[in-house]
Amino acid sequence: MTATLEYHLKRIFGYTQFRPNQREIVGQLLAGHDVFAVMPTGGGKSLCYQLPAAITPGTGVVISPLISLMKDQVDGARDLGIRAEYLNSNLTPAAMSDVYRMLEQGELDLLYVSPERFAMDGFLTTLSRTPINLFAVDEAHCMSEWGHDFRPDYLNLTAIRQRFPAVPIAAFTATATRKVQDDIAGRLQLRDPFLVRASFNRPNLYYRVEPKGKIREQLLDFVEQHRDVAGIIYRTSRKDVDATADFLRCHGIKALPYHAGLSREERERNQDAFNRDEINVIVATIAFGMGIDKSNVRYVVHGDLPKNLEGYYQETGRAGRDGDPSLCVLFFGRGDIVKLRYFIDRIEDAGERDIARKKLYGVADFADQPVCRRRQLLAYFGEDYPAANCGGCDVCVGEVEKADESRSAQMLMSAVARVRAAFPADHIIDIVIGNDTAAVRHCRHHDLPTFGVGREHDRDYWHALLQLLRERDCLRTDSDPAGGIVLTAKGKKVLFGHEKFLILRPAPGKKRARRAPVETAAAGNHDLFERLRQLRRRLADDADVPPYVIFSDKVLTEMSRALPQRQREMGRISGVGEAKLRKYGAVFIEEIRQFLEEHPDVLPAGRLPIMPARSRSVPSRSAVNDGALAQLMTDGLALTEIAETLRTPLRTLTRRLEAMLDQGRELPLDSLVGTAARLEIERQIALSGRHESVTALARQLGGTFDPAVIRLVKKALPAVVPLR
């Protein structure tokens, strides 16, 4: 059995190894048992139901909350050779009845549906006429009112067990407290389910906290250091999201905003552009989340302090789903605590307010305490991280160092202890730095032994320290209206030397490995990787799917490292299964061969380049004679005429022209395409937005233009035209 599963894993998905828990879950489902799996984002849950559904007779039904993702999920599954369809309100009646027909004729391995559908007349009856091999409930926490994302529609799923007593049900979620877990299991009536609680550790994520200063410049600086890769920047307010996106765009970064204040169309368009690698950066509020299925997000940066650690974990979790090294950076400034506190203090319910406050201090601690970031995050989920050094955060790697501030803390707290009543912060600091104000004299505080002991530091230093002592619960504001400062039990421990007061600061002289964790991802040939990426973009555009559906970055990296030049070699690349090999193997091999022909030095000694086959099915770039092409363009010939003269397919010709544009060459578009045509295409692009796919543009233009021509015009648009 085990051997067979491994065989199917390679055949369908192209992987040689299961990720933790995957094999067990697949095995349980195949044996007809229910499964309840709590897996972090990027844990690889889709495979857990896709694999058993694909290799057993009958159809697997997947319940997924986001209509916007269904198409991509289905495209992805189909690309693996799995017969998948979806049913949701976006489908036309005709398309819908097609799907029903396929379902009833047993032509589907997987059917994706939204939970609403279970409430619709006749849906369950239709399902019961078909052999169903499993139900997979994605984002199952939406079922529970105790969860953070309750959706009443999910309650329709309670009917499944009764109607299909013999079919195994698998529930998946990335967040589940005990309460939510019991709730889900009860509502779905799971029978002694196989329980998986995967570790929430994400070993490929590197965590770093940086002091927040001029945040927009800092963000720009960061993005410029990571120009070629995709990332998410979270900001708290919509205003900051818009301003940051504009600022980045002004500096030539392909960035778009995402927040609940934008129209639905705009949000979808921006998200789509991000998913399709058309832009590098999405600047977003936390409204941006569930809809991202992109596996190659290389960094998640928080420009502001998140409200709690749970949110921080979920948001950073969107980085590196493909398992490649990715970076999570939090810009942390004390001002953010004050801002968030302002809102929290206005929560009416005292209990809720308290919880919100505790959570806020939890994130502040995360940023502030000299403890491994990973350990702190995992501890939040009740998970113990055993290793002393995680090797994947700024604390463990030594980018920051622990400083013992116990002495200063003691000075400050001793002043607080000696004044005997609750005095305001400024008064305490006056004492410590030896400032004999009228108030100090009046209380005779200039006679205290603590008076002036802290002259070596300035007022700002003491303010910051006092704030920190407050956040770490060593000092607190007294409840009297004057708001004086008093010591806490914890503060006393530090004051009497039973506990140290440690803080974090940047390690001096230690040059930070700014890009290190991300750079290791691109171990292959970078230029080839870029070319393969371009090729993937073109293929994705043609097929109207997001690029990652074709191959993940990881697969392209692996190709640019292993340089496969034969089908057999290509098939060995992790992530290249049978269906993908058949569909894309030849085109990618061709690209690699051409690259090797142009860069013979890239191949390691002992390996010979295989000469590119000039087959008709695979457009060959070098098939276009550049000299002749330039001459024909100067002569003012149209695209079709040039194609004919050079005996080159139109598509091959436009690709060559696109490559010329990439190299910064200007093209006589008006003669190539015709002025009227160019204007019409440009107008449509302006109407639909630059992120509209070529396929869609072709449709909108009424099918009068060859997509290759549209793509060329699109590509030739000057980069300075605003993206929106």
Residues forming the site for ligand ADP (CB under 6 A): 15, 17-19, 22, 39, 41-47, 295, 321-322, 552
User: What is the Cα–Cα distance from 560 to 100, expressed in whole angstroms?
Assistant: 42
Question: Smallest distance from the beta carbon of 522 to Zn ion, in angstroms?
Answer: 24
Shortest Å, Cβ 380 to Zn ion: 14
Cα 44 to Cα 38: distance, rounded to the nearest angstrom: 11
H helix intervals, 298-433: 309-316, 334-344, 350-368, 373-380, 394-397, 406-418, 425-433
Which burial class, exposed, middle or buried, applies to 238 when counting CB atoms under 10 A from its CB (0-12, 13-18, 19+)? Answer: middle
Question: From Zn ion, ligand ADP, none, which one binds at residue 612 (CB under 5 to 8 Å depending on kind)?
Answer: none
Of these partners, Zn ion, ligand ADP, none, which one is at the site of residue 393 (CB under 5 to 8 Å by kind)?
Zn ion
In the complex, what is the shortest distance from the CB of residue 543 to ligand ADP, in angstroms, rounded to a whole number? 18
The least distance separating ligand ADP from the CB of residue 34, rounded to whole angstroms, comes to 19
- C-beta of 359 vs 374, nearer to Zn ion: 374
Name the minimum Å distance from CB 43 to ligand ADP. Answer: 4
Query: Whose Cβ is closer to Zn ion: residue 371's or residue 586's?
Result: 371
Which partner in Zn ion, ligand ADP, none is near 396 (CB below 5 to 8 A by kind)?
Zn ion
450, interface contact from ligand ADP, Zn ion, none, CB < 5-8 Å by kind: none
What is the C-alpha to C-alpha distance for residues 26 and 20, in angstroms, rounded to an integer? Answer: 12
d(CA 218, CA 533): 28
Tokens matching residue 601: 């030095």
Q: Which does 589 bind (CB under 5 to 8 A by kind): ligand ADP, Zn ion, none?
A: none
What type of residue sits at position 297?
V
Report in angstroms how near the CB of residue 328 gets to Zn ion at its nearest. 12
Task: Indicate which of Zn ion, ligand ADP, none lies near residue 19 (CB less than 5 to 8 Å, by partner kind).
Answer: ligand ADP
Evaluate whether 450 touches 420 at the Cβ level (below 8 Å): no
Q: 42 or 612, CB closer to ligand ADP? A: 42
Rounded to 5°, the CA angle 659-600-547 comes to: 40
Give least dist CB 45 to ligand ADP, A.
4
Q: Taking CB positions, which residue lies at the least distance from ligand ADP?
A: 44
Phi/psi of residue 340, each to 5°? -65, -40
* Residue whose C-alpha is closest to residue 392's, from 199, 203, 200, 198: 203
Q: CA angle 91-159-164, nearest 5°?
A: 95
Minimum distance, C-beta of residue 325 to ligand ADP, in the bound complex (Å): 14
CA torsion through residues 590, 592, 593, 599, sign: positive
| Nearer to Zn ion (CB atom), residue 373 or residue 554 | 373
Q: Cβ closer to Zn ion: 223 or 372?
A: 372
The item of ligand ADP, Zn ion, none sharing an interface with residue 709, based on CB under 5 to 8 Å by kind, is: none
User: Closest CB to ligand ADP among 51 and 596?
Assistant: 51
Q: What type of residue is 542?
A: D
Tally DSSP H helices, then E strands, for the chain: 34, 17
- Which partner from the list ligand ADP, Zn ion, none does 43 bind, CB cut-off 5 to 8 Å by kind? ligand ADP
CB of 268 to ligand ADP, least distance (A): 20
**Cα–Cα distance list, 511 to 217, 474, 597 (Å):** 20, 33, 40
Q: Look-up: residue for tokens 């006429």?
A: 129
Collapsing DSSP to helix, strand or coil, 195 comes out as strand
Query: Which residues does residue 169 pair with via DSSP β-bridges, in sequence order?
Result: 135
The order of strands in the sheet holding 35-38 is 84-87, 110-113, 59-63, 132-137, 169-173, 35-38, 194-197
Judged by beta carbon, residue 161 or residue 402, the one nearer Zn ion is: 402
Closest separation in Å from C-beta 210 to Zn ion:
16
Q: Retrieve residue 576's tokens.
A: 């290249």
Looking at beta carbons only, is 395 or 643 nearer to Zn ion?
A: 395
- Judging by beta carbons within 10 Å of its beta carbon (0-12, 13-18, 19+), is residue 77 exposed, middle or buried? buried
Q: Of Zn ion, ligand ADP, none, which one sits near residue 15, judging by CB under 5 to 8 A according to partner kind?
A: ligand ADP
Between 51 and 143, CB nearer to ligand ADP: 51
Quote the CA–CA distance of 475 and 473 in Å, as a whole number.
Answer: 6
Name the binder of 44 from Zn ion, ligand ADP, none, CB < 5-8 A by kind: ligand ADP
Q: For residues 237 and 206, give the distance between their C-alpha atoms in angstroms, rounded to a whole number.
A: 25
How far apart are alpha carbons 171 and 186 in whole angstroms?
12
* Chosen from ligand ADP, Zn ion, none, partner binding at 41 (C-beta under 5 to 8 Å by type): ligand ADP
Cα separation, 448 vs 578, whole angstroms: 81
Q: Which is nearer to Zn ion, 248 or 393 (CB)?
A: 393
Tokens (6 digits) for 456: 């070596």
Smallest distance, Zn ion to C-beta of residue 363, A: 17
Tell me whether residue 378 or residue 713 sits nearer to Zn ion (CB atom): 378
42 binds, among ligand ADP, Zn ion, none (CB under 5 to 8 A by kind): ligand ADP
Q: 555 and 576 in contact (C-beta within 8 Å)?
A: yes
User: What is the distance between the terminal CA atoms of the chain, rounded to a whole angstrom?
Assistant: 53
Question: How many Å is the maximal CA-CA distance in the chain?
Answer: 100
**Residue 402's binding partner, choosing from ligand ADP, Zn ion, none, with beta-carbon cut-off 5 to 8 A by kind?**
none
The number of residues making up the chain comes to: 724
Report the partner that residue 185 touches, choosing among Zn ion, ligand ADP, none (CB closer than 5 to 8 A by kind): none
List beta partners, residue 234: 284, 302
C-beta of 481: minimal distance to ligand ADP in Å? 51
Pick between residue 373 and residue 427 the one whose CB is nearest to Zn ion: 373
Q: What are phi and psi of 392, to 5 degrees?
A: -140, 35
Residue placing its CB nearer to ligand ADP in the complex, 18 or 154: 18
Alpha helices in 472-610 (DSSP H): 489-495, 516-519, 526-543, 547-550, 553-562, 567-572, 578-598
Taking CB within 5 to 8 Å according to partner kind, which of ligand ADP, Zn ion, none is near residue 18?
ligand ADP
Query: Which one, 377 or 633, has the nearer CB to ligand ADP?
Result: 377
148: Cα within 13 Å, side-chain hemisphere:
9
Shortest Å distance, C-beta 247 to Zn ion: 32
Complex with ligand ADP: residue 49 or 423, whichever CB lies closer: 49
Q: Could you tell me the smallest distance in angstroms from the CB atom of residue 437 to ligand ADP?
A: 59
Least CB distance from residue 390 to Zn ion, whole Å? Answer: 3
Task: Residue 361: name its binding partner from Zn ion, ligand ADP, none (Cβ under 5 to 8 Å by kind).
Answer: none
- Tell me which residues touch Zn ion (CB under 5 A): 372, 374, 390, 393, 396
Q: Which is nearer to Zn ion, 254 or 374 (CB)?
A: 374
> CB of 194 within 8 A of CB of 24?
yes
CB of 409 to ligand ADP, least distance (A): 43
Per DSSP, the three-state class of 178 is helix
The phi and psi torsions of 72 (rounded to 5 degrees) equal -65, -40
